[in-house]
Chain A
């Protein structure tokens, strides 16, 4: 069973469910945020959207939901947790991942497809070639990853940066950084390597006629499961 935690204001929950059913052929349990008991779950997703309308600060109010206590508990047991976009913001707000996502360098909302360089050294990316360059859509106004030097260094030293914004040729510099993230960070894992947060939307890229680089992401998850 795969779980998706749904908050008031989540809006990528359905897209994620469709993608999981299509690529993983697994049953999906939509867990309402007030649920205080997540039963057996092989993997938990925190979807994109605007939980609680982004009121106060993106992701902060969602950390107060009972379901997040369960996510914290299960993460300690090694259950893989994946937060996409607003899900990434929520995971940093409840300290399951280090750092924080602040307003984009240009504070306007930004929806576009970006190139990413993938580190395949994780259960979430094992189907990619190492340093493979892929294309995924982003859509956010608060995806600018920020952390202090110490955190940043430890992320780099432990190979916890899994996705990085880059050029089509793989160059990593500020010209190919859509939101101002430190070290061009688009996605990270925690030190135990079972919690992933990423700003791009793999669930929107599983269709040949639109974009399909998300398929390898879900393929990696399938291999793990």
Chain B
């Protein structure tokens, strides 16, 4: 038997304390296979040991929530017996090491989480964060990640309809790839993972198990150093064709009564799926590891249990339906093999060559996994300030911002994704503040967006996280959708450091406060920690993926202009420039506090916008939220999209710079046909409204300041991403 040494423990990312806990649970020493199982089940990635104490505080309930966190994905009710299943998940560590496969398998994994619950995926989104463009690996990484996402989603035939792509030097050595998938299911056809049934068979389906991704979950739970590229064999390889077959086969089988429970094999593969299913159903499993279909010869039980080969599922089947199960999987050319049986022992027994290889108490391993209340402490932030030049004109500043990578037109990126397949994409990428997807064969549609401003989060993780939720809420309102629920993807550094733990706790607290106030529950999510290289952490990046509902998809808003349209700003402009993109891009300065956020005002303004889109749709031309870059950037984006012009007057007695570039929250640009109607409705609603100009000819014109032609604007704006992918 392998001797358990300190070195072996550290290779498995287990602490001495955790090992002592294992000894108490087992009342004996574990063998190597058992130690491996403990290490992946207790990894940060699978056990949430540093965060679960805080995640429990999040608001997860609402009358429309069918299933909150804890299952493969969250589920909400959207009426007429329809339900939406959605989740966001990170694939940060693998994507940095091998961008194409890392990103592709991220997309594959999140779609499996969705269709495991019986839902056909109907849309995907991605929230991407890269280092500075001048960093030598950035171009390689973004090209690999975007191709990986595109090739996978396109092949499976699920539209990739939007998301974010943000650049900042804090991601130079740790990029973020967060993939979100949304699926549609009938309310009475949702599948869950809890194992049920008396000695029912356990069926393995999908790809054969290989040696790829062994210890992937453990890798995702550790910091990087200069030698991390040596981890490449730990990155899984994706096969979207198999995923497509698995999707169709599973959904076809779900139309019968064969499947009792089902779980995809994601992080920690066969180990995690079998333990989770058994634990949730209070069952035991006898697993015959010799039955697992293998891609390579000579794999040990340790390797088989820890492999993270993609495109695999584990199911408990009603034995009466064994024949139809194998018929359907045969039809789709997939392997389905009985690999074990349920029992009532609550023990996991793994057999090979008729010998017991592993005998572990399931509940002790899953439910009694470590939970840490780690130390946390605020660290004062060193002022980041590098530019000395202060006399840059508004026009020059604006040109710098609109040409910057973070504002460049992302068409060359999004056009690599099939955003139209399934023929229900009403508003695809960059047409509005959220993507809008019709619920097939109905008048309903859903709106999808993802948001987070890491610069705000770094300065004040509590406020930054609140703003991320509020911005997500605002982007849904801006297309006319009722915000329903969120999924959160919490990306942070090493939680064993006090200042990082402080960021984690404060971010979760911020999400909780904003979600409670906006009645916007968290139904699923994912935590990605240890996003650090050589001790340097990313900025806290709690990405919020939001879903909203539109009752009639014809009543929606886009970021459109129309000749003679009247332009208004809803919400008060104070001119907050601290931590703005203006400060960052023009002066490379990140100082001060994020803008103030008044959640009551946020709600009021958002409800006004939604109501106006619904009731006065014929009066309305366009809506665009105001966020990073301020009013001028929102207007410029509308001008570029429509190839029309605006004539803007900065209100008297206002500081022009602050008014144009300020990032005050809870604001929208609204363009209407007629002035009086919106002013009256706003007044009645008690919402602040300000007339700022009109749509005229071509070009962006700020009276008494400057004018820029559309040609110049479009050229500046598209350059970065055109060069990036050429």
For B333, list chain A residues within 8 Å (CB).
Answer: 8
**Nearest A-chain residue to B422, judged by Cβ:** A15
Question: How long is the Cα–Cα vector from A139 to B154 in the complex, in angstroms?
Answer: 9
Contact A204 B423 (CB under 8 A): yes
Q: Is the CB of B423 within 8 A of A209?
A: no
In the complex, identify which listed stretch (B236-244, B317-325, B502-510, B618-626) lies at the interface while the others stay far away: B236-244
Task: Please measure, in the bound complex, the distance between the C-alpha atom of A204 and the C-alpha atom of B242, giving whole angstroms.
Answer: 25
Could you tell me the distance between the alpha carbons of A32 and B330 in the complex, rounded to whole angstroms? Answer: 14
Say if the beta carbon of A171 comes within 8 Å of chain B: no
In the complex, whether A108 has a CB less than 8 A from a CB of chain B is yes
Q: Please state if A12 and B157 are interface contacts (CB–CB under 8 Å).
A: yes
Contact of A201 with B150 in the complex, beta carbons under 8 Å? no
Q: Does any Cβ of A come within 8 Å of B403's Cβ?
A: no
Q: In the bound complex, do residue B421 and residue A210 qualify as a contact, i.e. CB atoms below 8 Å apart?
A: no
8 Å CB contact of A203 from B156, B414, B423: B423
Q: What separation, in Å, do the CA atoms of A19 and B722 have in the docked complex? A: 34
Judge whether A59 is part of the interface by a CB distance below 8 angstroms. no
Q: Is A137 an interface position by the 8 A CB rule?
A: yes
Question: For the complex, would chain A's binding face be called helix, strand, loop or mixed by DSSP majority?
Answer: mixed
Residues of A within 8 A of B239 (CB): 53
Complex partner residue of B420 from A53, A109, A111, CB under 8 angstroms: A111
Mostly, the B contact residues are loop
Q: How far is the CB of B388 from chain A (nearest CB, A)?
A: 41
Q: Is A40 an interface residue when CB atoms closer than 8 A count as contact?
A: no
Complex Cα distance A52/B239, Å? 11
Residues of B within 8 A of A12 (CB): 157, 421
Judged by a CB distance under 8 angstroms, whether A149 is at the interface is no
| Minimum distance in angstroms from B272 CB to a CB of chain A | 27
Is the Cβ of B244 less than 8 Å from the Cβ of A137? no
Contact of B332 with A by CB under 8 A: yes
Contact A49 B423 (CB under 8 A): no
Indicate whether A159 reaches chain B with its CB closer than 8 angstroms: no
Contact B150 A109 (CB under 8 A): yes
**A111 in contact with B423 (CB, 8 Å):** no
Q: Is A9 an interface residue (CB 8 A)?
A: yes
Also in contact, A108 and B147, with CB within 8 A (given A11-B157, A209-B553, A209-B554): yes
Among B241, B417, B440, B441, the residue within 8 A (CB) of A9 is B241
Closest to B243 in A: A53
* CB-based nearest B residue for A178: B415
CB atoms of A137 and B420 under 8 A apart: yes
State how many angstroms separate the Cβ of B519 from the closest Cβ of chain A: 29
CA distance A110 to B150 in the complex (A): 10
Q: A55 contacts the other chain (Cβ, under 8 Å)?
A: yes
Chain B min CB distance to A17 (Å):
11
- A203 — which chain B residues lie within 8 A by C-beta? 423
Known contacts A8-B333, A109-B418, A209-B553: A50-B241 contact under CB 8 Å: yes
| Contact of A52 with B241 at beta-carbon distance under 8 Å, contacts A8-B332, A109-B150, A209-B554 already known | yes
The answer to whether B599 has its CB under 8 Å from any CB of chain A is: no
Q: Which residues of A contact B242 (CB under 8 A)?
A: 53
Q: Most chain-B Cβ atoms within 10 A of its Cβ — which of A18, A111, A204? A: A111
B residues at A contact (CB < 8 Å): 147, 150-151, 154-157, 239-242, 244-245, 331-333, 414-423, 425-426, 440-441, 553-554, 725-726
The 7 closest A-B pairs by CB, nearest first: A11-B157, A53-B241, A139-B418, A15-B423, A50-B155, A204-B423, A111-B418
- Inter-chain pairs besides A209-B553, A209-B554, 6 sampled, C-beta below 8 Å: A8-B244, A9-B155, A11-B244, A50-B155, A50-B240, A139-B418
